[in-house]
Amino acid sequence: MPLPASQTSPGDGIAAVLDAANRVILGKDTQVRLALACLLARGHLLIEDLPGVGKTTLAHTLARLLGLDFQRIQFTSDMLPADILGVSIFDREHADFRFLPGPIFTQVVLADEINRATPKTQSALLEAMEEHQVTAEGITRPLPEPFFVIATQNPAHQVGTFPLPESQLDRFLLRLELGYPDSRAERALLESGGRRSQVAALTPCLTPPALAGFQDEVERVHAAPPLLDYVQALVEASRRAPAFRHGLSPRAALALLAVSRAWAYLAGRRQVLPEDVQAVWPALACHRLPLAQGSGHASPEEALALLRGVALP
């Protein structure tokens, strides 16, 4: 007798990761879960928020808990692609060029304030994200696996920023906003001091092969035909909504299904429910739906309004 849908639990390792992350990052349950779901669905994450709300801490925590290498790149307006990808320098001893890998050769990259860099530098990173490899000076070098980029972005209206174009926004599976912590979490934060020492003290809960195993399992989460109907109905509705300049692409539909699987898996289920799709919907859809009037993208409220206009098939 199979158990009803809601009663199983995810793999122990993943539960432990969630647990530990929530002990470091206080009061951000949903965001932490979304970030982990994004990673399990082999996607990259974009966090858009003000400085100092814990973006770096989240990225660092995830890297530590998953037992992955971590590098942070602070983007600035004078940065060049070579600063990310690496350069070849002349080695006098061997009388030859030697490639010095850039900071991107790691498993978790925190690309801080990505919209401070020029479009050229941005696109160097984004290409690496898409292809999982780097081509510098005619030689293609693979990036380590798993490869996970957490980019942070200042709100676009800040001075001195180059907003990411639509096509590149689409490469980020999810976009999150962390927001201020609630008063209880903030109080706890104040009482226990900064997070730096806590993050440093974290011990990995997983190994990279275990993580890859979980990612494979996520792909096997069942999506029944009625659920696929639902995903299609949502995508179709986004294309028809007059409020948006254009709707979700087929790539976005695939992404929606992948994250929904991961979300269901994190909830301990082996099948995707409409609730899973709905839970990840704002994070997935908002940055992919440009408003028809003016610039900017759909707010979470607008995305939810669209969702509520679509009946379950």
Partner 1 sequence: MNWRLPWRRQRRPLPSPLPHSVLPWLLLCALATAGPHTLHQPLWLTAIAGLVLAWRAWLWLRQLPLPPRWLLSLVSLGSLAAIVVEYRTLLGRDAGVSLLVLFLALKLMELRQRRDGVVVLMLGYFLLLTHYFHSQSIPTGLWMLLALVLLTATLLRLHGDDRARPLASLRYAGVLTLQALPFMLVLYLLFPRISGPLWGLPRDAHAGLSGLSETMAPGSLANLIQNGSIAFRVQFQGETPPRAQLYWRGPVLDHFADGVWRARFLPHRKPQVEARGPEVAYVTTLEPHNQRWLLALDSPTAVPAEASIGHDLQVLAPAPLTSRSRQAFRSVLDYRHNRQEQPLVLQRALQLPAERNPRTRELAEQWRRADPRPASLVQRALAHFRQEPFFYTLRAPLLGRDGVDEFLFATRRGFCEHYASAFVVLMRAAGVPARVVTGYQGGDINPVDGYLTVRQSDAHAWAEVWLEDQGWRRVDPTSAISPARIEAGIAAALPDDEALPLLARVDLDWLVRLRHRWEAANNAWNQWVLGYTPERQRQLLSRLGLQQPDWRNMSAALAAACGLLLLLLTLWSLGRRPRLAPEERLWQRFCRRSARLAPDLARAPWEGPLAYGRRLGERLPTLAPQAEAIAGLYATLRYGPPLAPRDRQQLLERLAACIRELPSRRPS
The whole-angstrom separation of Cα 70 and Cα 109 is 6
Comparison of 5 and 100: residue with beta carbon closer to partner 1: 5
The alpha carbon of 53 is separated from its chain's Cα centroid by a whole number of angstroms, namely: 17
User: For residue 153, what are the β-bridge partners?
Assistant: 48
Cβ neighbours of 293 (radius 10 Å): 9
Tell me if 271 contacts partner 1 by CB under 8 A: yes
User: For residue 134, what are the β-bridge partners?
Assistant: 141
Binding to partner 1 in span 80-119, by CB under 8 A: none
Using CB under 8 A, count the residues that bind partner 1.
Answer: 24
Q: Which helix (H) or strand (E) holds 124?
A: helix 119-131
Q: Among all chains, which residue has been given the structure tokens 């639990």? A: 9
Choices 21-29, 46-54, 121-129, 267-275 (CB under 8 A): range interacting with partner 1: 267-275
Which backbone phi and psi does 27 adopt, to 5 degrees?
70, 15
- Between CA 56 and CA 62, with CA 59 as vertex, the angle to 5 degrees is 145
Comparison of 121 and 278: residue with beta carbon closer to partner 1: 278
Binding characters for partner 1, 209-228, by CB under 8 A (x = yes): -------------x-x-xx-
Binding characters for partner 1, 278-307, by CB under 8 A (x = yes): x----------------------------x
Choices 5-13, 80-88, 205-213, 290-298 (CB under 8 A): range interacting with partner 1: 5-13
Tell me if 268 contacts partner 1 by CB under 8 A: no
The whole-angstrom separation of Cα 3 and Cα 105 is 43
Residues lying near partner 1 in the complex (CB under 8 A): 1-2, 4-7, 222, 224, 226-227, 242, 270-275, 278, 307-312
